[in-house]
Amino acid sequence: MNETGFIDLRSDTVTRPTAAMRRAMAEAEVGDDVYGEDPTINRLERRAAEILGKQAALFVPSGTMGNTIGVKLHTRHGQEVICEARSHLLEYELAMLAWFSGCVGRPVRAAGGVLRWEQVKQEIRPLGPHRAPTALIELENTHNMAGGTVTPLEVMTEICDGAHNAGLKVHLDGARIFNAAAHLGTTVKDLCAGADTVMFCLSKGLCAPVGSLLAGEEEAIARGRLYRKRLGGGMRQAGVLAAAGLIALEEMPARLGEDHANARFMAEEMARIPAVRIVHRVETNLVIFDISAAGMAASELSRKLKERGVLINPIDQRLLRLATHHDAPRAACERALRVIEECLH
């Protein structure tokens, strides 16, 4: 339950900084990051690059900015970006792909949100007199709107190898890449190895109050720094944020399994409610469920839940998504479950 008395399962973005993060924020050494002089941000960027196995990393205020810069680095105006049809990049970033990079998305619907090279390669368009040429392949792991599903390492590798052989770049929206690695029992380094740039978020399941990182080659990240400034992301003494981010990076990935177990618990219990259909295999911390059999709009259920102290957002008329996280432990999930049952019976 959060400080307002609600059990908030709308997203893992609602997590609050832990006590250790708040202490570290109060004590953080800071400097002007636009001059490259914030020691805590510099430490976070070095550490993130090391953990992801990339040459360099850039601290950005949000995942959206990380994706925006990632796309910009690999594309020119008038090109195309292949991505899964429900990808965050395409659906939830206010068309930044077009607005900032001047590109169009080529949406490809993939089962469970997991793109395969077989599918991707058929969508690649060469330069010619009619069609926008493909510049980039964008992957999302875990895939948010496919219910937190995980793209396995071998699939990532096949797509990245295929893309590179075709002269294309790969940007990974790894907002929840630590969840993917926890599910697979692999390292984020292995999962990110083939991608040219990777964005991941500190401010979701890892509980930092703000921030994401964009990692890649030194040269790309140096250019990315300029785009960050253009976008208004030069944050000066943001070491106070990076201090929380360092704790998120070092200490929080190890507990993600707990969130995944809670999501599985919720999905298994909710599957017993006749009006509920769990839409995807629950692999990480997100559960998308269909309540069309209840004869109630998803927004209506969301409203009823809220009246009873549980926050879960609708995605459309039929679907809702719940997210498990650090601030909704098993007891809170159990209470939320009882409320969901009440509202649907």
Contacting residues toward ligand TLP, per CB under 6 A? 11, 13, 62-64, 67, 88, 92, 140, 144, 173, 175, 201, 203, 212
When CB distances to ligand TLP are compared, the closest residue is: 63
* CA dist list (Å): 306 to 5, 73, 315: 11, 42, 16
Burial of 35 (0-12, 13-18, 19+ CB in 10 A): exposed
State which residue, 92 or 265, has the beta carbon closest to ligand TLP: 92
State which residue, 88 or 225, has the beta carbon closest to ligand TLP: 88
CB of 60 to ligand TLP, least distance (A): 9
The 10 Å CB-count burial string (b at 16+, else e) for 11-23 is bbebbebbeebee
Which is nearest to 188 in space by CA: 49, 287, 325? 49
CB of 98 to ligand TLP, least distance (A): 17
Name 82's bridge partners. Answer: 106, 137
Q: Is residue 137 a contact partner of residue 70, using CB atoms and an 8 Å limit?
A: no
CB of 286 to ligand TLP, least distance (A): 8
> Phi and psi (nearest 5°) for 146?
-100, 15
In order, the DSSP letters of 265-301 are: HHHHHHTTSTT-EE-S---SSEEEEE-GGGTS-HHHH
State which residue, 89 or 294, has the beta carbon closest to ligand TLP: 89
Contacting residues for 23 by C-beta, under 8 A, at least 6 apart: none
State which residue, 54 or 143, has the beta carbon closest to ligand TLP: 143
CB of 293 to ligand TLP, least distance (A): 25
Angle among Cα 83, 66, 198 to the nearest 5 degrees reads 65
State which residue, 267 or 273, has the beta carbon closest to ligand TLP: 267
CB of 102 to ligand TLP, least distance (A): 20
CB of 295 to ligand TLP, least distance (A): 27
State which residue, 11 or 79, has the beta carbon closest to ligand TLP: 11
State which residue, 289 or 294, has the beta carbon closest to ligand TLP: 289
CB of 174 to ligand TLP, least distance (A): 8
State which residue, 147 or 239, has the beta carbon closest to ligand TLP: 147
Total number of residues shown for the chain: 345
CB of 315 to ligand TLP, least distance (A): 9
* CA dist list (Å): 92 to 3, 120, 136, 284, 342: 28, 22, 19, 20, 31
Q: Is residue 154 a contact partner of residue 143, using CB atoms and an 8 Å limit?
A: no
